Amino acid sequence: MTAASKISPCPTLQRRAEFLRVAAKGRKAPVHGLVLQALPRDDTAPARLGFTVTKKVGNAVVRNRTRRRLKEAARLLFAAQPLTGVDLVLIGRDATRGRNFLDLQDDIRRALRKVGVA
């Protein structure tokens, strides 16, 4: 499992415990290109992002590419429309790697609506 460092509009989740808390208590939205987990916080700080790609998806090279596409799609999206007061975990899946990039961004927007954040 891996994650990004700083993505300019948003800080990232750093510790395993934070990922586990989002997975346990947050809401979950599977869409074609990814699975989104979201956990609202009681503040107005910028949204924090985490990325997860399991070994089931592939070897290290494949996982890196999957995570980097998710990271870039999220970066572009939240630079245009910043979110606050929520922790998000984006989970890569097999389809993430081959998904058209614009469709992948739509997937994230759709998932955000599903969990009621956007």
Partner RNA sequence: CCAGACGGCCGGACGACCGCUGGUGGGGGCAACCCUGCUGGAGGAAAGUCCGGGCUCCACGGGAAUACGGUGCCGGCUAACGGCCGGCGAGGGUGACCUCAGGGAAAGUGCCACAGAAAACAAACCGCCGGUGCUACUUCGGUCGCGCAGGCAAGGGUGAAACGGUGCGGUAAGAGCGCACCGCGCCCCUGGCAACAGGGGCGGCAGGGUAAACCCCACCGGGAGCAAGACCGAAUAGGGGUGGCCGGCGAGGCGCCAGAUAAUGGCGUUGACGCAGGGGCAUUUCCGCCCCGUCGCCCGGGUUGGUCGCGUGAGGCGCGCAGCAAUGCGCGUCCCAGAGGAAUGGUCGUCCCGGGGUUGCGCAAGCAAUGUCGGACAGAACCCGGCUUACAGGCCGUCUGGCAAU
Return the number of the residue (81 or 100) whose C-beta is nearest RNA: 100
x/- binding map, residues 7-26, to RNA, per CB under 7 A? Answer: xx---xxxxx--xx------
> What does the chain come to in residues?
118
Site for RNA in 65-104 (CB under 7 A): 65, 67-69, 72-73, 75-76, 100-101
Q: Is 57 in the site for RNA (CB under 7 A)?
A: no
**Side chain identity at 113, as an amino acid letter?**
R
Site for RNA in 24-53 (CB under 7 A): 50-52
H or E segment to which residue 112 belongs: helix 101-114
Cβ within 8 Å of residue 105, ≥6 positions away: 73, 76, 77
Three-class SS of residue 47?
A: coil
